[in-house]
């Protein structure tokens, strides 16, 4: 049995579909389909019922799921334990962060590392969804959050504030307080970002004024840059052709560096960690 096939099995079970598993594993759909068929063929049992609504575990699949989950936990623990003993500043370090941070902060850190530690290869996974550091999907996360997971160790590297932004050019007179936004074109968030209090506030108070929605902060910034409407964004989005109008003091945020406890003493990870912290400090986003 191939261990990678078990990872595919778990991803399908977790997501309920081949496409969801392919996205989680960053593999193509046909590879996931082929690996599942190979696993079922090797075991001689059917692990999933293929339904129109998705993939559902069979009784054999249910038993397999619990065994595979235990094995997955053990394998990941072994990988972290061995990685934690590696003190040399050589090898791959995987970073996960949001698109805007990947553009504004990470490049300076990577440039610095190329000069100081050329033996470290940085891999950057960009997206607003969280990667699982417990399963080694990434080694370091640089994320905006006020509630980092308890199973990770981390450091708050910046405080963020929320502002309304507009296109730099255009009329001189613009809203200067929340009440002035009534009747103005606003850019809102789709359901996936309504977990953030600032966007819930915007939705609850200005739903009728929203002219476009996005599930990505960088896209919201681009829409504001194009003059589509006013955008509510955290201060780490301060870039491009947008200008700050006014701050919403009731909403705050934090930027955190996070890693798994087993990895905090790995030489190359500590070096990349420090480089990212320095790059955040250089951007001065806490003062915006």
Domain harbouring 125, CATH code: 3.40.190.290
What was the pLDDT predicted at 151? 81
Confidence class for position 194, pLDDT limits 50, 70, 90: confident
Task: Say whether pLDDT at 202 is over 70.
Answer: yes
Q: Are residues 32 and 78 in the same domain?
A: yes
pLDDT at 156 over 70: yes
**DSSP string for residues in the chain:** --HHHHHHHHHHHHHSSHHHHHHHHT--HHHHHHHHHHHHHHHTS--EEEETTEEEE-HHHHHHHHHHHHHHHHHHHHHHHHHTT--SS-EEEEEEE-HHHHHHTHHHHHHHHHHH-TTEEEEEEE-SSPP-GGGTS-SEEEEE-SS--TTSEEEEEEEEEEEEEEESSS-S----SGGGGTTS-EEEE-GGGTTSHHHHHHHHHHGGGEEEEES-HHHHHHHHHTTS-EEEEEGGG--TTEEEEEEEEEEEEEEEEEE-GGGTT-HHHHHHHHHHHHHHHHHTGGG-
Weakest mean pLDDT among 16-20, 24-28, 60-64, 85-89: 85-89
Same structural domain for residues 247 and 280? yes
Whether residue 83 is predicted with pLDDT greater than 60 in this model: the reply is: no
Mean pLDDT is lowest, of 43-57, 106-120, 234-248, for 234-248
Task: State whether 205 and 273 are in the same domain.
Answer: yes
Using the predicted structure, report yes or no on whether residue 89 has a pLDDT greater than 90.
no
Supply the pLDDT for residue 88. Answer: 60
What single string gives the DSSP state of each residue in 43-65? Answer: HTS--EEEETTEEEE-HHHHHHH
Does 247 score more than 80 pLDDT?
yes
Within this chain, do residues 122 and 141 fall inside the same structural domain, yes or no? yes
99 and 52 housed in the same domain: no
CA separation for the pair 260, 135 (Å, rounded): 10
Q: Are residues 63 and 126 in the same domain?
A: no
Segment among 12-21, 85-94, 183-192, 213-222 with least mean pLDDT: 85-94
- pLDDT value of residue 287: 54
Burial of 50 (0-12, 13-18, 19+ CB in 10 A): exposed
Higher pLDDT, 252 or 161: 161
Which pTM was predicted? 0.61
Q: 249 or 276: which carries more pLDDT confidence?
A: 276
- Whether 182 and 234 share a structural domain: yes
Model confidence at 286: pLDDT above 70: no
Q: Which of 83, 116, 137 is the last residue of a domain?
A: 83
Nearest to 158 by CA among 140, 146, 170: 146
Pair 93, 74 in one domain:
no
Domain boundary residue, one of 83, 101, 122: 83
Split into its structural domains, the chain has a count of 2
CATH number, domain with residue 34: 1.10.10.10
Lowest mean pLDDT among 44-48, 86-90, 193-197: 86-90
pLDDT of amino acid 232: 94
Q: Answer left, alpha or beta for residue 227, where phi above 0 means left and psi between -120 and 50 means alpha.
A: left
Task: Mark whether 173 and 65 lie in a shared domain.
Answer: no
pLDDT, position 229 = 93
pLDDT (tens digit per residue) in 90-136: 889 999 898 888 988 999 999 999 999 999 999 998 876 655 565 66
Instruction: Name the least confident of 30-39, 40-49, 83-92, 240-249.
Output: 83-92
pLDDT of residue 131: 53
Domain that holds residue 54: 3-83
């Amino acid at each position: 049995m191939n261990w990678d096939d078990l990872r595919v099995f778990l991803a399908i079970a977790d997501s309920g579909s081949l496409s969801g598993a392919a996205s989680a594993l960053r593999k193509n759909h046909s590879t996931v389909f082929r690996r599942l068929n190979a696993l079922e063929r090797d075991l001689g049992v059917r692990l999933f019922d293929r339904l129109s609504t998705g993939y559902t575990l069979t009784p054999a699949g249910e038993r397999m799921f619990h065994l595979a989950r235990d094995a997955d936990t053990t394998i990941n623990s072994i990988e972290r334990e061995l990685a934690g003993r590696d003190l040399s500043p050589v090898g791959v370090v995987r970073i996960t962060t949001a698109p805007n941070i990947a553009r504004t902060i990470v490049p300076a850190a990577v440039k610095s590392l190329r000069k100081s530690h050329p033996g470290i290869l940085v891999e950057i996974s960009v997206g607003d969804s969280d990667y699982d550091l417990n399963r080694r999907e990434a080694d370091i996360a640089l994320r905006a959050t006020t509630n980092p997971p308890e199973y990770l160790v981390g450091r708050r590297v910046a405080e963020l504030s929320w502002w309304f932004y507009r296109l730099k050019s255009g009329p001189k007179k613009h809203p200067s307080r929340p009440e002035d936004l009534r009747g103005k074109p606003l850019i809102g968030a789709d359901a996936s970002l309504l977990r953030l209090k600032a966007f819930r506030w915007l939705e609850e108070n200005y739903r009728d004024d929203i002219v476009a929605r996005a599930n990505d902060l960088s896209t919201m910034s681009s829409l504001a840059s194009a003059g589509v409407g006013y955008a509510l964004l955290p201060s780490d989005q301060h870039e491009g052709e947008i200008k700050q109008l006014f701050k919403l003091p009731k909403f705050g945020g934090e930027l955190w560096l996070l890693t798994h406890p087993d990895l905090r003493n790995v030489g190359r990870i500590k070096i990349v960690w420090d480089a990212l912290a320095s790059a955040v400090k250089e951007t001065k986003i806490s003062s915006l």
